[in-house]
């Protein structure tokens, strides 16, 4: 289970820089004769700092046109291919180094600085001779987040945004559900100083070894930056805000700012995009607070993609293979969107309804009027067992329309157990989304439940939910929950996962340590969206386990400040899950529209 989660982290974790692929190289080849290139464009900010940009404009441009830009911490040349593509199709495109990165002046302070600077870039660009006064944004991950950040400032010349795989600070980066991860320091190393640190960032063996050393040493997460040899004030600042508070709220739009956004928006994410939670949180908040007119201009696409695939779709990743229908020409779709929203062109044919989503397994796109409308109904599956369900080969059951009567199940999580590091650091021979090594290695240290085989193929589309009655005998611990499809041949496909730190059982904004050994209800409602057609004969597998991985902050269960806890604070915890008539533990399965 931990292996599945950690593999996903390595495959798709937030703010990754997409490696140049053959598909991306093709974007530039026919464009060279059509593009004017200008290096070292200086854009003045309101405080006198100048940001550096590289400008790509259509060669022989006869008049002003709508303009695009991306604001990136990854050095402007990273998106050379996109600049060539858009400019060769008639749209001026600027890649802009964020403050303090590349050749931009000032100091880089991640996330918080992009709103005001983005506003200034929009209004400066609107006044350039090649721009007709309409400005749009492009970009994903960090550059998806900063589109929302600048949109809340409402620059008058901003015509549309297309946020892709958008990071939501405090929700999915630099922590997920208030559980931090060492990857945040890997990202800070990538964006340290002004030059590119790409080779350091891409050295997976280096980061795997470092994470393993940290995990096995039992040192606090707060020492991870010094273990790297790069003390980071930003890393320490993030750790001082371990849950959602005013610090994180300052990064994202308020309800009023969402309400005032009137521009058309196209949100793009993927079923295996680690920043899907952030992308969908921005989308949901806007749909909750915006005017009806603005909501009608917000479209959502959820493809069968990982993080980088939200810009350049791939037919294979993580051990899965998808049909040709999954390979949407996203650069072309962007062009069509910009033409529709800024040039009076036709609506993109792909956008047949407000929400487009890909049903994996069925290998087809489907459409819905809203995110909620994707799910037809939720089937309640009761957790049950007639013995302690800690073995994947002798598991408990997930029962439809039956009341569970079994005795409680339990496992012991000892934070001193570092055996998971071996599997965490070993490369998968099959791909992280189909790898079952960890769930088999964790026999006796987790809870496992299976459904009966499905008599017919079924479509699961939407968000799982788990309501579980759990007792712990320590003031705190972490849980990870995963749902997989187990095919008739015994192979596995990861569908979705969730996590929770016990002290945030009632609220992600207010820690409250557990002061009773009586069972309490834990509602896991943060599963990622998934849409997949399960084959006839397949089953669902639910795994509930401790979060004990070198890719995640370790909770030593003592109830202290987790970032400062070490192996000296370790306290084994007994986790007991109840499933009976008065304390029913239930997995809610989202069934797709017929």
Residue 421 tokens, joined: 């590091």
202 located within any domain: no
Task: Name the token pair of 528.
Answer: 């990622």
Residue 232 is assigned to a structural domain of this protein: no
Same domain? 359 vs 391: no
C-alpha–C-alpha distance, residues 583 and 408, integer Å: 10
3-state helix, strand, coil in the chain (%, to 5): 30, 30, 40
Give the closest residue to 486 by CA, choosing from 437, 434, 538.
538
Helices (H) and strands (E) in the chain, counts: 17, 27
Residue 505 CA to residue 519 CA, distance in Å, equals: 12
**CA 203 distance to own-chain centroid:** 21
Reply yes or no on whether the pLDDT at 7 is more than 60.
no
Domain-embedded: residue 450: yes
Reported as a single tens digit per residue, the pLDDT across 77-107 is: 899 999 999 999 999 999 999 999 999 999 9
Total domains present in the chain: 2
pLDDT tens by residue, 315-359: 999 999 999 999 999 999 999 999 999 999 999 999 999 999 999
Q: Which of 370, 393, 422 is the last residue of a domain?
A: 370
Would you say residue 388 lies in a domain? yes
Which of 330, 347, 370 is a domain's end point?
370
Range of the domain at 361: 2-168+252-370
pLDDT at residue 492 in the model: 97
And the tokens for 36?
Answer: 């004017």
- pLDDT value at residue 119: 98
- Whether 131 maps to a domain, the answer reads yes
Considering the domain architecture, whether residues 277 and 422 belong to the same structural domain is answered as: no
CATH number at 294 reads 3.40.50.1820
Give the domain-ending residue among 370, 397, 415: 370
Within 8 A by CB and 6+ apart from 95, the residues are: 53, 54, 56, 69, 70, 72, 76, 77, 78, 79, 80, 82, 83
Answer yes or no: do 427 and 557 share one domain.
Answer: yes
Residue 24: per-residue pLDDT: 54
Is residue 392 located within the same domain as residue 365?
no
Instruction: Give the model confidence (pLDDT) of 383-440 as tens digits.
Output: 999 999 999 998 999 999 888 888 999 999 999 999 999 888 888 778 899 999 999 9
Q: Identify whether residues 121 and 140 lie together within a single domain.
A: yes
588 in the same domain as 557? yes
The model's pTM is 0.95
pLDDT number for residue 45: 98
CATH code, domain carrying 437: 2.60.120.260
């Amino acid at each position: 289970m931990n292996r599945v989660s950690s593999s996903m982290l390595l495959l798709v974790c937030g703010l990754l820089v997409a490696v140049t692929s053959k598909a991306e190289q093709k974007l530039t080849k026919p464009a060279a004769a059509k593009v004017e290139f200008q290096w070292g464009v200086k854009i003045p900010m309101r405080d006198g700092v100048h940001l550096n940009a590289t400008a790509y404009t259509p060669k022989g441009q006869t008049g002003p046109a709508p303009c695009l830009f991306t604001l990136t911490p990854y050095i402007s040349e990273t998106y050379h291919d996109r600049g060539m593509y858009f400019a060769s199709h008639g749209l001026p495109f600027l890649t802009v180094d964020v403050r303090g990165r590349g050749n931009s002046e000032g100091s880089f302070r991640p996330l918080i600085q992009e709103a005001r600077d983005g506003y200034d870039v929009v209004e400066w660009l609107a006044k350039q001779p090649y721009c007709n006064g309409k400005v749009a944004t492009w970009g994903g991950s960090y550059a998806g987040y900063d589109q929302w950040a600048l949109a809340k400032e409402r620059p008058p010349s901003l015509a549309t945004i297309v946020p892709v795989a958008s990071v939501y600070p405090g929700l999915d980066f630099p922590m997920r559900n208030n559980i931090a991860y060492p990857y945040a320091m890997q990202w800070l190393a990538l964006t340290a100083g002004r030059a590119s640190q790409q080779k350091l960032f891409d050295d997976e063996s280096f980061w795997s070894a470092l994470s393993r050393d940290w995990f096995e040493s039992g040192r606090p997460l707060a020492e991870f930056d010094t273990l790297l040899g790069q003390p980071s004030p930003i890393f320490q600042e993030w750790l001082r805000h371990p849950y959602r508070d005013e610090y994180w709220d300052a990064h994202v739009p308020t309800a009023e700012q969402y309400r005032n956004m009137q521009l058309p928006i196209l949100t793009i994410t993927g079923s295996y995009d680690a920043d899907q939670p952030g992308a969908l949180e921005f989308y949901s908040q806007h749909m909750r607070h915006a005017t009806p007119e603005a909501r009608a201009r917000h479209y959502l696409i959820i493809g069968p993609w990982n993080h980088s695939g939200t810009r350049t779709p791939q037919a294979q990743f993580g051990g899965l293979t998808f049909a040709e229908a999954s390979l949407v020409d996203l650069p072309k779709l962007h062009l069509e969107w910009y033409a529709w929203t800024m040039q009076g062109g036709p609506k993109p044919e792909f956008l047949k309804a407000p929400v487009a989503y890909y049903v994996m397994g069925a290998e087809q796109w489907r459409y819905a009027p809203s995110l909620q409308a994707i799910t037809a109904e939720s089937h309640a599956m009761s957790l049950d067992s007639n013995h302690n369900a800690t073995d994947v080969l002798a598991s408990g059951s997930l029962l439809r329309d039956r009341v569970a009567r079994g005795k409680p199940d339990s496992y012991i999580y000892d934070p001193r157990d570092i055996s998971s590091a071996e599997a965490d650091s070993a490369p998968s021979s099959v791909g992280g989304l189909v790898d079952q090594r960890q769930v088999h290695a964790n026999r006796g240290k987790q809870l496992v439940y299976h459904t009966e085989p499905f008599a017919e193929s079924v479509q699961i589309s939407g968000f799982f939910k788990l309501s579980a009655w759990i007792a712990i005998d320590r003031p705190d611990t972490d849980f990870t929950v995963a749902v997989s499809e187990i095919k008739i041949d015994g192979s596995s496909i990861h569908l979705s996962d969730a996590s929770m730190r016990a002290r945030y059982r009632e609220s992600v904004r207010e820690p409250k340590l557990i002061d009773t050994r009586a069972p309490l209800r834990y509602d896991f409602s943060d599963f990622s969206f998934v849409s997949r057609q399960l084959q006839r004969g397949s089953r669902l597998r639910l795994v509930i386990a401790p979060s004990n991985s070198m890719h995640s902050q370790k909770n030593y269960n003592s109830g202290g400040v987790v970032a400062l806890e070490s192996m000296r604070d370790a306290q084994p915890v007994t986790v007991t899950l109840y499933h009976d008539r008065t304390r029913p533990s239930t997995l809610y399965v989202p069934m797709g529209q017929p």
